[in-house]
Amino acid sequence: MSEKGKLSKFWITELTRPAFEDWLEHEKHPVVVIGIGSIEQHGPHLPLGMDSMAVKRYIHEVAKRSNSVAVLPCWPGFSPHHLGFKGTVTFSWDTLMGVLMDTIGSLALHGVKRFVIMNGHGGNRNIMNLVVQLAKREYGVMVAAPSGPGDTELAKVHADRQKRLWDVHSGINETGAALYMFPELVEMDRVPEDWTPTLDVDPRLREFLDPDRDDYEVVSQVWGACSQPDTDDFSADGVYGLGSPRDADPEEYAKRFEERVEFVVEFIREWKKIPTPPAFQG
């Protein structure tokens, strides 16, 4: 429902056509928030749809707080590196790009000029960034992928954990997210009490996971250059890094969720204050 542009439902799939039209007519600068994630292995304990379910939660909350429309156009993402583990479903890079471009193009045709993309899966990042560039030129719309905040104390804790433990997939941070957002889908009993990392990399590379090193800027990029292409090349259980998922803290992640949502909402608030630039007015 939408009354004078004020939405009471925020998923595009739940809006009637007249409600969507009312929102377009009365919302001065309508924003569509698009989410992308993945269906892929997430270790032995997290659901295959982790990334898409998480981003779904994010974009709905952002839409609700900013009077925007939320769109989750697909569940899979670009995940060929996880295909060594059963249950992973991947799109090709051009399929995912096509889904995003077609979604933006359809809504641009109906008058939407501002799009926010929120990404829940690292493998989608390069494709998303390319879509941000291409859609602007192809459809004459503004497309943004805001990311933050990175300067809060909690953001620094999470970032430091990623650097020191390579905690980027199914580890402490992500398990905390799942335990906060959908604990009923997490099977922590599948993580042994005495869990030890299965990360199989050269010991010299492990030494690079130290942000206190004077040469960290260099060696962290050497680490990236040596990253093997597929998860099963270096992890027996699908968990990246050195930190035990059992150390996850859902209460900590609840605070991170709130500050990340509010960051994007504030981005949208500020964005709406700016008139549509001439290049996008056609």
pLDDT in tens, 198-235: 999 999 999 999 999 999 999 999 999 999 999 999 99
Contact predicate 25/221, CB 8 Å: no
Tell me which of 66 and 3 has the higher pLDDT. Answer: 66
Question: Which residues fall within 8 angstroms of residue 142, CB to CB, at 6 or more apart?
Answer: 113, 114, 115, 136, 276, 277, 280
* The residue to which tokens 């595009």 are assigned: 12
C-alpha–C-alpha distance, residues 153 and 135, integer Å? 35
End-to-end alpha carbon distance in the chain: 29
pLDDT band for position 1 (50/70/90)?
confident
What is the chain's alpha carbon radius of gyration, rounded to the nearest angstrom?
Answer: 20
Query: Among the residues of the chain, which ranges form H helices?
Result: 17-26, 50-66, 93-109, 125-139, 153-165, 172-181, 203-206, 216-225, 250-272
Whether residue 2 is predicted with pLDDT greater than 90 in this model: the reply is: no
**Residues 53-73 as b or e (16 or more Cβ within 10 Å = b):** bbbbbbbbbbbbbbbbbbbbe
Whether residue 76 is predicted with pLDDT greater than 90 in this model: the reply is: yes
pLDDT average, residue stretch 245-273: 98
The pLDDT value recorded for residue 66 is 98
Instruction: Please tell me the pTM assigned to this model.
Output: 0.96
Q: What is the pLDDT of residues 14-73, one digit of tens each?
A: 999 999 999 999 999 999 999 999 999 999 999 999 999 999 999 999 999 999 999 999
C-alpha–C-alpha distance, residues 133 and 170, integer Å? 30
For the chain, domains (ranges, CATH) are 2-149+257-280 (3.40.50.10310), 153-256 (no CATH)
Whether residue 3 is predicted with pLDDT greater than 90 in this model: the reply is: no
